[in-house]
Amino acid sequence: MKNILFPTDFSPNADIALNYAVEICRKISGNLLLFHAYSVQLIDPNMPAEIYLSAYQEEEKSAKERLEELSKKIIDTNKDIDGQSIFKTEAVVTQGLAVDEIISVIKDYKIDLVIMGTHGASGITELILGSSTASVMEKSPVPVLAIPSNVTYKSISNIVYAYDDIKSCLPSFKILLEFAGIFNSSITLLHIIESGSNSEEMNKKEFAKIKNTTDYEDISLELVKEEKVIEGINDYVYSHDVDVLAMAIKKRTLIDKIFNRSLTKKMAYHTRIPLLALHKI
C-alpha cells in the first residue's frame, strides 16, 4: 500500500479519521491525498448563469482554503528526526456528488486505501439513504477504512476479520494481510455459527489450509455460536481488545440492496471501532 485517499467534509468526524490517515502514511512513507467534492444546489432555475457560476467559484475557493489548512495542520507530524517529510501530501478539489467523485479519484490516482469518517444513521434513513461512507464501501474497488466519531487513534495491534464463508474470503484475506503487515497486527478470523449449523469442523480444516499457505505468523481462528450474526460479532468485539474489525463486501442487485442490506453495510452504522471493508472477488 502506498497511496492513501482521505475524503473530507470538514466535519469533526473527518478530523478524527485524519489521525488514522496520517499515522498510516507515516508507517508506510506513502502519499496522502486530501480530497473534497463540492456541489451547489440550483434552487431557482431562472437564476442568472453568472450568479450560479460565482457560487461554484466561491465553493471551490473555500474548499481549497480548508484543505490547505488541513495540510498545514499535519506538517509537524510529517517530519522525521532530521526535519524531512516522511510522506507526501496533495490536495484535490472537484465538483460533483461526493461518492461518485471519490470513486473517480480512486481510479485516477491509483489509490490503495481510502480512510474516511462515518456519521452513521438509523431507522428508515439507514435503510434508504445510507451514508456516504457506506456507499463508498460498496462501490470502492479498494479497501475502505471507516472511522467512527467516538474513537481516538491508537496503533492497530489486533484485527478481527469476521467472515461468512471461509473459502470465498481468501482473496479478501490476502488484501487484509497487506494492511495488517503495516502494523504487524495479530489477525483473528471470526465466524459466527448460527443455530442449526454444523460447519465447525469444515471451518477448522479450511483454516488449517490458510495457515499452511501464508507466512504470516500471528493468525488465529475463533468460532462463536450465536443466534444472530451481528449480535455475535458485536459481542465478540466488545469483549475483546480489538482495534479494527474487517469484513468483506460484495456487489449486489438493486433488489438485494433494498431488501437485504449487506452485513458489512449494516456494521458501518453499528460498530464502535474502525471498520475495514474489503471486497469479495
The pLDDT value recorded for residue 204 is 92
* Burial of residue 253 (number of CB atoms within 10 Å: 0-12, 13-18, 19+): exposed
pLDDT in tens, the chain (281 residues): 899 999 998 888 888 899 999 999 999 999 999 999 987 665 566 666 666 567 678 888 888 999 999 888 888 788 888 888 899 999 999 988 899 999 999 999 999 999 998 865 444 334 333 468 888 888 899 999 999 887 888 899 999 999 888 777 777 888 999 999 999 999 999 998 877 677 888 989 988 988 888 889 899 999 988 888 878 888 898 889 999 999 887 665 444 444 445 666 566 555 678 999 998 66
The pLDDT value recorded for residue 128 is 36
The pLDDT value recorded for residue 279 is 80
Q: Mark whether 8 and 103 lie in a shared domain.
A: yes
Please check whether residue 180 is in contact with residue 187, taking contact to mean a CB–CB distance below 8 angstroms: yes
Cell of 18: 485524519
- The answer to whether residue 232 is domain-embedded is yes
Q: Mark whether 141 and 164 lie in a shared domain.
A: no
Q: Mark whether 187 and 250 lie in a shared domain.
A: yes
Query: Would you give the end-to-end CA distance of the chain in angstroms?
Result: 18
Q: Mark whether 192 and 237 lie in a shared domain.
A: yes
Domain span at residue 227 reads 158-279
- The answer to whether residue 152 is domain-embedded is no
DSSP β-ladder status, 144-147 and 275-279: antiparallel
Q: Mark whether 124 and 193 lie in a shared domain.
A: no
- Domain end point (choices 104, 127, 147): 147
Q: Mark whether 93 and 228 lie in a shared domain.
A: no
**Which neighbouring-strand residues pair with 222?**
190
Q: Is 183 helix (H, G, I), strand (E, B) or coil?
A: helix
91 CB contacts (<8 Å, ≥6 apart)?
33, 34, 35, 64, 67, 68, 70, 71
Q: Mark whether 120 and 225 lie in a shared domain.
A: no
- The answer to whether residue 222 is domain-embedded is yes
CATH number at residue 235: 3.40.50.620
- Domain end point (choices 147, 171, 190): 147
- The answer to whether residue 94 is domain-embedded is yes
- Could you give the number of structural domains in the chain? 2
The pLDDT value recorded for residue 262 is 60
Q: What is the pTM of this model?
A: 0.85
Q: Mark whether 86 and 166 lie in a shared domain.
A: no
- Domain end point (choices 147, 181, 216): 147
- The answer to whether residue 243 is domain-embedded is yes
- The answer to whether residue 153 is domain-embedded is no
- The answer to whether residue 265 is domain-embedded is yes
- The answer to whether residue 257 is domain-embedded is yes
Q: Mark whether 92 and 205 lie in a shared domain.
A: no
Q: Mark whether 114 and 185 lie in a shared domain.
A: no
Q: Mark whether 105 and 179 lie in a shared domain.
A: no
Q: Mark whether 14 and 81 lie in a shared domain.
A: yes
